[in-house]
Amino acid sequence: VPPITMDVRAVVQFAAVTRGLSLFLQAALNAAIPDHDADAFVPPRTEEPLYLDSLVEWLLGGLSRWDAEHFLFIAERGYLYEHNFAFFPLFPILLRGLAETLLRPLSGWLGMRGRLLVAVAVGNSSLFLLSVVALHALSRVVLQDRRLAMLSTLLYCITPANVFMTAGYSESLFAALTFGGLYLLEKGFTLRACLALAIATAARSNGLVNIGFLLYLPSLRAISQIRVYRYVWVIGRLLLISILGTVVIALPFCAFQYYGYRTFCTPSLSLERIPPALLSLGERKGYRVPDENGPPPLWCMRPLPILYSHIQDVYWDVGFLRYFELKQIPNFLLALPMATLGIMAAYAYLQANPELCLRLGLWETGANRGLDKPTPGLFNPKVFVYVVHSTVLLVFGTLCMHVQVLTRFLASSSPVPFWISAHLLLLNEPLLHRRRTSNPSVQLQTAARAGCSHAAQNPIIALLSYFTTCSPITQSILGYFLSYWLLGLVLHCNFFPWT
């Protein structure tokens, strides 16, 4: 467990403020703006509302838009429709568990959906705070720069993917598990890291990409030990860790695909056992349901019958270059700021460390051998694998996914967008004291001028108070983060298209 320092307290306090503000704003904006009539998955309500259900729906209904409806439906009804299997089970299980345990005393006033909405608000707020702590700890270990780690984590608190960290999506859960697992891996706790990253795969399919960290970081340590231990033992240990770790991380994905295969290819459910309203919705919308008396779907006959791939292809039209159409230009523009940060991070790191990148950072040169600590900051060797990971996600997301999801895809999976943003602020903003300025009297001393000690501990708040005098780079980065933070609440919570 990372130590609780003043920095940790500061970022957790700021994260708590942004969570509370997000919940308040989604309720206010959802009440003030009429919902867009979107062609989205909205299942019928089959249970009678209880006393507080309408109040909770009014307060927290903005958290149930778009894909959140799938997660809430799965938590309440299980995996009934074929396309529900695009959403992995850990988050719905967590919501149902909260509704049936901590929120069980409210069952006399709140129905299952009402308790699930409360579970979303409580659960995702708590998970986001955990992800903040994990990101800060990971940043301190990797960057070896206290200031950069602090600023990166504060930027994460106002992430452009804010609405997806707040609403009924699995992003906060995945971020907490991924950042926590990577921190454990960096500290050498391989078994516990594998467990955390495996659980992350049960939340989102892109958890499989984290296998790369398991293959790389132990390899880095093994190569450094070859001169000390016997060569055969080092290689054997590395292979064993890699094989076992890969199996552990991939196991939740494989188990979920097997469950999908059993559900639809060898079904044990008859149509008579499905509520008529849900069956009618499936017939009207073309949603396949399991039927023991009907023929199995065609994907069951494939040599490798993976339901997830079938759903992405048929229901979401996801595939290589399928999104490259003129009508998708607005969505590419929505993803452009996050893509730009990813490209800048990769380019800057390659330019700063060309030799290290060519040798994949796997062994030290004569000039670097024997150094106890790498150079602190964004360009130290430990950051290499994270930049590669971020770049892989960026390329895959651009070429093979609905490109607008890049914002939440990268923000919940990689620390690099926040590291490069903080690096650019420290490099280009005179008010942050990173370099000498032509006017030494222009300093970031908000506490002295405004009498606010909290602002002195939080450079983001201080920069916002001097926003008009900040550098163009600072205005661009903070403007991007805050505009997406707010626009997401305005649009997504009212069923308008967003990232």
Within a domain: 268: no
Q: What is the pLDDT of residue 1?
A: 61
DSSP states along 55-111? HHHHHHGGGGSTHHHHHHHHHHH-S-SGGGGGS-SHHHHHHHHHHHTTTGGGGGT--
Domain residue limits at 47: 4-259+323-365+374-431+474-493
In a domain, 436, yes or no: no
Tokens describing residue 200: 């992350």
The per-residue pLDDT for 330 is 94
What does residue 421 show for φ and ψ, rounded to 5 degrees? -65, -45
Residue type, 152: S
* Dihedral sign for Cα atoms in the order 95, 99, 103, 108: positive
How many domains, in total, are found in the chain? 1
Comparing CA positions, the residue from 104, 134, 4, 111 lying closest to residue 54 is: 111
Residues in Cβ contact with 242 at an 8 Å cutoff, skipping those fewer than 6 apart:
214, 215, 218, 219
Q: Where are the alpha helices (DSSP H) in 226-328?
A: 231-265, 276-285, 307-314
pLDDT in the model for residue 215: 87
Taking the C-alpha atoms of residue 323 and residue 331, their distance in angstroms, rounded to an integer, is 9
Question: 407 and 400 in contact (C-beta within 8 Å)?
Answer: no
Phi, psi of 78 (to 5 degrees): 85, -170
> Has residue 11 been placed in a domain?
yes
The span from the first CA to the last CA of the chain, in angstroms, equals 33
How crowded is residue 464: how many other Cβ atoms within 10 Å of its Cβ? 16
- The answer to whether residue 312 sits within a structural domain is no
Amino acid letter for position 190: T
Q: Which residue has the tokens 């065609």?
A: 298
**Does 102 fall in a domain?**
yes
- The predicted pLDDT at position 327 comes to 93
State how far the Cα of 282 lies from the Cα of 79, in Å rounded to an integer: 13
Query: What phi, psi does 165 have (nearest 5°)?
Result: -80, -15
Structure tokens at 455: 């602002």
- How far apart CA 475 and CA 469 sit, in angstroms, is 9
Alpha carbon distance 297, 82 (integer Å): 10
Could you list the mean pLDDT of each consecutive 10-residue stretch along the chain, which spans 499 residues? Answer: 77 96 96 90 86 94 95 95 96 97 94 96 97 97 94 97 97 98 93 95 95 85 62 72 90 96 90 89 91 90 93 90 93 96 97 90 56 76 95 96 95 97 94 52 40 60 92 96 97 91
- DSSP, collapsed to helix, strand or coil, labels residue 275 as coil
Identify the H or E element spanning 417.
Answer: helix 416-428
Give the type of residue at 257: Q
pTM over 0.85: yes
Sign of CA dihedral 482, 487, 490, 495: negative
For residue 247, count other CB atoms closer than 10 A to its CB.
Answer: 13
Q: What's phi and psi for 455, nearest 5 deg?
A: -65, -35
What lies within 8 Å, CB to CB, of 208 at 6+ separation is 201, 249, 250, 253
Is residue 439 assigned to a domain? no
What's the pLDDT score for residue 457?
65
In a domain, 185, yes or no: yes
| Predicted pLDDT of residue 440 | 32
Domain membership flag for residue 138 = yes
DSSP string for residues in 175-226: HHHHHHHHHHHHTT-HHHHHHHHHHHHTT-GGGGGGHHHHHHHHHHHHHHHT
Q: What tokens appear for 168 in the block?
A: 């009924």
Q: Which two tokens stand for residue 161?
A: 């993917």
Angstrom distance (rounded) from CA 199 to CA 91: 10
Residue partners of 187: CB distance under 8 A and separation at least 6 = 141
